[in-house]
Structure 1
Amino acid sequence: SVKTVLMQLFEESGNTDVEGIDTTNACYGGTAALFNAVNWIESSSWDGRYALVVAGDIAVYATGNARPTGGAGAVAMLVGPNAPLIFERGLRGTHMQHAYDFYKPDMVSEYPVVDGKLSIQCYLSALDRCYTVYRNKIHAQWQKEGTDRRFTLNDFGFMIFHSPYCKLVQKSVARLLLNDFLSDQNPETANSVFSGLEAFRDVKLEDTYFDRDVEKAFMKASAELFNQKTKASLLVSNQNGNMYTPSVYGCLASLLAQYSPEQLAGQRISVFSYGSGFAATLYSIRVTQDATPGSALDKITASLSDLKTRLDSRKCIAPDVFAENMKIRQETHHLANYIPQCSVEDLFEGTWYLVRVDEKHRRTYARRPLMGDGPLEAGVEVVHPGVVHEHIPSPAKKVPRIPATTESEGVTVAISNGEH
């Protein structure tokens, strides 16, 4: 499992008392793991330590229209008390249902079977239902507190979404505005965001998934909302493609990378996580009010301030070279007794890469040294648990490695449960 492979990083410290295992459900697995971590910290099992959630995935597609949307990445999230991002208790809207919208029935191939139209419908219907549940829950909380008003998108400072491709995120903002419009018994259509939308007063949500007139009208009406609350979150998605399970958390990192602590302080951020099959949750986190220099919020934004620079520093290669890399991957990803015939010169410092697969399919990984670590040839590399081998460089055939074009961006986000 990914978890047990990562446990090799704890061997030097001798720490094997680390709970938690792989959590998998398409692009929703990272969110489920994050919820598990938060629930552990809130439980009687918590012993005062931090939880670490690692969401990582690779999105590859066969030759065709979907291939350019692919990507790869990983996001690590540190969960514990006194964090700059705080879960809002009781405010999760979840929808789960069975559908063959996107699945991988062939275990020999990395490529999915995708029903494009159904996939979009599942995503948008899950968004509708999650938002409805979320609004009902926050209304119930407000009523207990003596607040009697409607919840709208204006109550979110920022909105981030699972991002298969950026256009779907923009459509999602429009979709939420449609929800607000239809739930308002007396919408102000004269001088408001709803101006000019009177003709859609009686439409039914379930009939509008592919209604171009509705989509166009609400995309236009929500354009400013999108620009103000969501667009900045698409930095990684726009440059790195779909990362699958860390996708929405790449959006969170993008948001934190582009706003100052003062701009973020006190804001409510909505998070919509979706995984095919399908499972979805819309929840919210609050940014701490403390934006002072040296605060947790100041530190996390500073740690992400170079995100765009890191993206821009990747090597650009021609599409035909990328296609050749994908062909090599397709032909070799399942092989045993295999040594990749690629150069590692283009990988960033600190990047882990595959050295070999032995005759029993056990994989050996190496890490490109960080600045000052010494020459690559002197590295010691982890194989499978408890075994290390000296790295023998692969033949230096100059085939650019896939990570050089779809860099696996690693970012750390600290999140707290609502009581600490």
Structure 2
Amino acid sequence: MTVPMNASTSQDVAPAARPSDVGILAMEMYFPRRCISEEELEEFDGVSKGKYTIGLGQKYMACCDDREDINTFALTAVTGLIEKYNIDPKSIGRIDVGTETIIDKSKATKTALMDYFADAGNTDVEGVDSKNACYGSTAALFNAVNWVESASWDGRNAIVVGGDIAIYAEGSGRPTGGAGAFAILIGPNAPLPLEPIHGTHMANTYDFYKPKLGSEYPEAFRTKHAKAKKAQGLSGPAFSLADVDFPVFHSPYGKMVRRRTPPRVQRLHRQPRRPQVRERARPRGVAAQPYKASLTDKNLEKTFMAIAKADYDTTVEKGMRCARRCGNMYTASLYGGLASLLASVEPAELKGKRISMFAFGSGIASSFFTIKVKGDTSEIRAKLDLVARLESMKLVPCQEYVDALTLREKNHNAGSYVPEGSLENIWPGGYYLESIDSKYRRKYARREKA
């Protein structure tokens, strides 16, 4: 794949034709260097064996200390994308960031990226941050794609960045933490173009939220009870989920995807849109009941899980590599799933296929959209090198994770602060927080590459 470098500046640019096949040209993932074992965490926490590994479907969880924040995540992901694909920074006309990790109530994470682009002579870069729990990255993606497809497009490409550090207070929520980020290049004639119609549902709920700015921890942890009520897919009678080859889901922890989403997919495969024929779509042996009541019926859920198992293992599981190793990445979870799929399926098998993407963010915001694989994904797969990189993460004792969270608590909202975390825990070439001054200005540095 050749990444198009369209214009060095936005001045005097007049695209010759309207762009087509706008979507993903290139992709990079970032995750911390360390992780812990969820099986070891069960023993460390003194809970029953299988509570996290089976009950939550988790294997490992990424962790980081006070040397990293959302700005270092974004900087490392973006520079990794630019350097791996030899992208001219002047060819970027827009950067959209999606994150729910807040370190400033006003200043966008996107601004932290601008030092890199300003040094390259490019300060004409549109876009700021989008925030709504885990959905912000999808809002950022839609913004970037819409910009390229709009009359405002100046011929340059866009970058979308998403990522978070998901951490919880001691208790039942802690094993569902994790961390990670992604950066993707958006432009025309992409091998992974987004299809234009989205199915969206939004409402005002308090299933998960962070009202206390004095803490990184959420106020409530009820994500497993949050339900997106309109995952109906693309509008129009011609489309059904039978048209999807590989579904990718927001995956804060593995069991949510296995327990909640596959039953929904099976329900959508089997249940026609017309209410008058819904009854015929029910599996045999399941008592007829109102549709809303069926959404929380445990027996029905188990029935659908059994129906979905074979499809799950051959399709959904291929998008779970990042989730299994890194845990919950909030805004990066869905796109870590996409990267996992690209790493798990041979490019020749992917070409011509359709990928569905289900984005969810508590509060709530949700969208269902699709990507049609029109080009060769070999270069993306090779440069992600995802399988080897995930396996190279350092497995550390659970006490080290607790110590890392203690350092983060100490650092939160601190001024005149020098982080204490070891630079050995930063990947070579990764960014880290060097200091915070008395005016709460953050200084970042980059670790030398190996």
Query: When the two structures are superposed, what TM-score results if normalisation uses the length of structure 2?
Result: 0.72
Q: Of 86, 91, 108, which aligns to 2:193?
A: 86
Whichever residue aligns with residue 171 of structure 2, its letter is G
**Residues in 1 aligned to 2:187 and 2:177: alpha-carbon distance in whole angstroms:** 32
Q: Of 343, 356, 378, which aligns to 1:270?
A: 356
Secondary structure in structure 2 of the residue aligned to 1:246: helix
Whichever residue aligns with residue 300 of structure 1, its letter is I
**Residues in 2 aligned to 1:57 and 1:205: alpha-carbon distance in whole angstroms:** 35
Partner of 1:307: 386
TM-aligned CA deviation for residue 46 of structure 1 = 0.4
Residue 204, structure 1, aligned to residue 308, structure 2: no
1:10-409 equivalence runs, <5 A: 10-90=117-197, 92-116=198-222, 119-123=223-227, 126=228, 128-131=229-232, 134-135=233-234, 137-139=235-237, 142=238, 151-171=239-259, 172-183=261-272, 185=277, 197-200=283-286, 202-288=288-374, 290-291=375-376, 297-304=377-384, 306-371=385-450
TM-aligned CA deviation for residue 186 of structure 1 = 8.3
Contact 1:181 1:187 in 2 (8 A): no
**Residues in 1 aligned to 2:171 and 2:300: alpha-carbon distance in whole angstroms:** 29
Contact 1:182 1:201 in 2 (8 A): no
**Residues in 2 aligned to 1:263 and 1:182: alpha-carbon distance in whole angstroms:** 29
**Residues in 2 aligned to 1:279 and 1:186: alpha-carbon distance in whole angstroms:** 26
**Residues in 1 aligned to 2:309 and 2:449: alpha-carbon distance in whole angstroms:** 43
Q: Deviations over 1:194-215 (max 9, x none)?
A: 8xx2133633332133321011
Q: Deviations over 1:176-199 (max 9, x none)?
A: 21233332838989xxxx8xx213
Secondary structure in structure 2 of the residue aligned to 1:200: coil
TM-aligned CA deviation for residue 85 of structure 1 = 0.4
Alpha-carbon distance change, 302 to 115 in structure 1, aligned in 2, over 3 angstroms:
closer
Whichever residue aligns with residue 129 of structure 1, its letter is K
Q: Which is worse superposed, 279-288 or 151-160?
A: 151-160
Partner of 2:74: none
**Residues in 1 aligned to 2:187 and 2:363: alpha-carbon distance in whole angstroms:** 31
**Residues in 2 aligned to 1:81 and 1:231: alpha-carbon distance in whole angstroms:** 30
Contact 1:163 1:247 in 2 (8 A): yes
Partner of 1:400: none
Q: Deviations over 1:353-411 (max 9, x none)?
A: 1111101111111111113xxxxxxxxxxxxxxxxxxxxxxxxxxxxxxxxxxxxxxxx
**Residues in 1 aligned to 2:292 and 2:220: alpha-carbon distance in whole angstroms:** 21
How many residues of Structure 1 are paired with residues of Structure 2 in the alignment? 339
Question: Highest CA radius of gyration, 1 or 2?
Answer: 1
TM-aligned CA deviation for residue 69 of structure 1 = 1.5
**Residues in 2 aligned to 1:209 and 1:165: alpha-carbon distance in whole angstroms:** 20
Which consecutive residues of structure 2, in runs of 5 or more, have no partner in the other structure?
1-107
TM-aligned CA deviation for residue 284 of structure 1 = 0.5
Whichever residue aligns with residue 328 of structure 1, its letter is L
Query: When the two structures are superposed, what TM-score results if normalisation uses the length of structure 1?
Result: 0.77
TM-aligned CA deviation for residue 348 of structure 1 = 1.2
Alpha-carbon distance change, 51 to 16 in structure 1, aligned in 2, over 3 angstroms:
same
Which consecutive residues of structure 1, in runs of 5 or more, have no partner in the other structure?
143-150, 292-296, 372-420
Over aligned residue pairs, what C-alpha RMSD do you find?
1.8
Whichever residue aligns with residue 179 of structure 1, its letter is L
Secondary structure in structure 2 of the residue aligned to 1:199: coil
**Residues in 1 aligned to 2:291 and 2:370: alpha-carbon distance in whole angstroms:** 23
Q: Deviations over 1:131-188 (max 9, x none)?
A: 1xx25x142xx3xxxxxxxx44322100011111111111201122123333283898
Contact 1:3 1:21 in 2 (8 A): yes
Alpha-carbon distance change, 242 to 180 in structure 1, aligned in 2, over 3 angstroms:
same
Contact 1:59 1:243 in 2 (8 A): yes
Contact 2:158 2:187 in 1 (8 A): yes
**Residues in 2 aligned to 1:357 and 1:60: alpha-carbon distance in whole angstroms:** 21
Whichever residue aligns with residue 244 of structure 2, its letter is F
Secondary structure in structure 2 of the residue aligned to 1:89: coil
**Residues in 1 aligned to 2:215 and 2:426: alpha-carbon distance in whole angstroms:** 26
Partner of 1:9: 116
Alpha-carbon distance change, 51 to 331 in structure 1, aligned in 2, over 3 angstroms:
same
Identity of aligned residues (%): 43
Contact 2:267 2:304 in 1 (8 A): yes
Q: Deviations over 1:305-338 (max 9, x none)?
A: x212111111111111211221221122221101
Secondary structure in structure 2 of the residue aligned to 1:253: helix
**Residues in 1 aligned to 2:278 and 2:330: alpha-carbon distance in whole angstroms:** 39
TM-aligned CA deviation for residue 228 of structure 1 = 1.6
